[in-house]
Amino acid sequence: MANKSVFASFVGRMLPGAADRNREGAPAYALTPKHRLAQLAMTGTLNGTFYAEAEAQLTDVLAAAAAVEPGFIARTAVHAREKGHMKDMPALLLALLSTLASPEFPAAFVRVVDNGRMLRNFVQVMRSGAVGRKSLGTRPKKLVQAWLEQASAIEIMRAAVGQDPSLADVIKMVHPKPRDAERAALYAWLIGRPYDVGALPAVVAAFEAFKRDATAPVPDVPFQMLTALPLTREHWAAIGRQAGWHMLRMNLNTFARHGAFEVEGFARHVARRLADAEAIRRARVFPYQLMAAYAMAGTGVPAAVREALQDAMEVAVANVPAVAGRVVVCPDVSGSMGSPVTGTRKGATSSVRCIDVAALVAAAFLRANRSARVVPFEQEVVEIGLNPRDSVMTNAARLAAIGGGGTNCSAPLAKLAAERAKVDLVVFVSDNQSWVDATSTPRRGTAMMQAWDVLKRYNPKARLVCIDLQPYGTTQAQERRDILNVGGFSDAVFDVIAAFARGELGAKHWVGEIEQISL
């Protein structure tokens, strides 16, 4: 008689073996080099995470980039900046690209370096030696010069906020040629050399005038340039009226502390500005940043402003797909999800955790799909009742309050399969470090793939999306026609999910989207 342990029918008999291991040592599928680089670019912040230090992320990025062609590096850098709203990773990829004599480098530079902060990020990476050199080189130097020459005076002023390197350092490094007397005076003023006072740009002249006389109009300069001056609450209100959208979001408590909200009409201005749909889109805000602002707003922040943040959240998640059919969202609420979503950085660690982002995605899907089912999981499925009529903020806070336990990615799928539930789209939000459900026979595939295989028997057209929030390079569900692995925590992932749910993404899925970017 044949050996039943070898020849018996079992779940996963046609599944690919899970030949890799995740950070917990459990069976997993390795991402392809292109997919791995894309995931790192969209989720990596070069800060420490629950399972990996910053240096390990850098090593992983360089290794993944070495296995792909320069053109894909360029497109990934652009995608991470324009769609993922990332900062450090696009700068790193751009710096690496500059060392490869790639013809795509100039086009990628123009799209990645879209403001002064990104310019300084790029120069910082180059000077660090992380990509094998500590000087800019001829091509990068010319592109940095071109950015400085084309930037407006106010863009230059905004770029001047920050150190390591400062904009003055950058100017001294690349020696831009002033296009006129005004730009020559501006450069000289920035690097502390004698300048023609009469030739200064109007915004700089106004700043210097305000420093001499606080009764002069508050200049429209980055507020960090003004904080050392003796400012009144009226000054702070004037600063707020001139501020950009992100500056308002990030400094609500500062305005409250300095009494700005006591100035007539200022609270209404801030509330109206924060809830402005077009301003939100231009700001390229992460939905989780709004959650953080709402959670951190102190008692001095008026209720109207806090409500505006909730309105802004509804706008920020407006592109969550409304899927025809039955949707199940599975947020990971295990212990490792308690780590900061952008990693640990000395003195600047985000208060927003991976679990907060997972909860936010689940709440946003519930908002767009009122009949959606939310199935949180850790070692087991966690039962929770959510009201789809509640705000995204409210439901996200309820989910994020669960927390703790081991990671068992197969648990929600096993539960759905046991119920013979009817589903069309299942969305996971996790760090993919499942280990509770690890088997001793990885050749049969992961437990998550085995559970999905069973669920597919009852739902042959169902699709599975795995949103990965941390850059570890493995997955529990291998990519195929009905499975999408996508990394990131910006609202860009919603667009990809919507296209996938409609059957509009090809076999290459997310990587294919990046490859289609035109340079």
pLDDT tens digits, residue range 460-481? Answer: 999 999 999 887 889 999 988 9
What confidence score (pLDDT) does residue 282 get? 87
Compute the mean pLDDT over every residue in the chain, rounded to the nearest whole number: 89
For 111-141, give one letter per residue: b (16+ CB within 10 A) or e: bbbeebebbbbbbbbbbeebbeeeebeeebb
Burial class (CB in 10 A: 0-12, 13-18, 19+), 424: middle
* Residue range 126-152: mean pLDDT, rounded: 93
* Residue range 287-300: mean pLDDT, rounded: 88
Please give the angle made by the CA atoms of 101, 43 and 514, to the nearest 5 degrees: 50
Is residue 457 pLDDT above 60, yes or no? Answer: yes
Q: Would you place residue 349 in the very low, low, confident or very high pLDDT band (cuts 50, 70, 90)?
A: low
What confidence score (pLDDT) does residue 443 get? 66
Q: Would you place residue 489 in the very low, low, confident or very high pLDDT band (cuts 50, 70, 90)?
A: confident
What confidence score (pLDDT) does residue 9 get? 41
What confidence score (pLDDT) does residue 300 get? 95
What CATH number does the domain located at 321-515 have?
Answer: 3.40.50.410
What confidence score (pLDDT) does residue 49 get? 60
Is residue 7 pLDDT above 50, yes or no? Answer: no
Q: Would you place residue 43 in the very low, low, confident or very high pLDDT band (cuts 50, 70, 90)?
A: confident
pTM here is 0.85
Least confident of 119-128, 214-223, 415-424: 214-223
Q: Would you place residue 507 in the very low, low, confident or very high pLDDT band (cuts 50, 70, 90)?
A: low
425-430/474-475 β-pairing? unpaired
467 strand-pairing partners: 429, 486
What confidence score (pLDDT) does residue 345 get? 62
d(C-alpha 68, C-alpha 212), whole Å: 56
pLDDT tens digit sequence for 350-381: 678 889 989 989 998 998 899 999 999 999 99
Q: Is the dihedral angle over the CA atoms 212, 216, 217, 218 positive or is it negative? A: positive
> What DSSP line would sit under 454-493, residue for residue?
HHHHH-TT-EEEEEE-S--SEESS--BTTEEEEE-SSTHH
Other Cβ atoms closer than 10 A to 177: 11
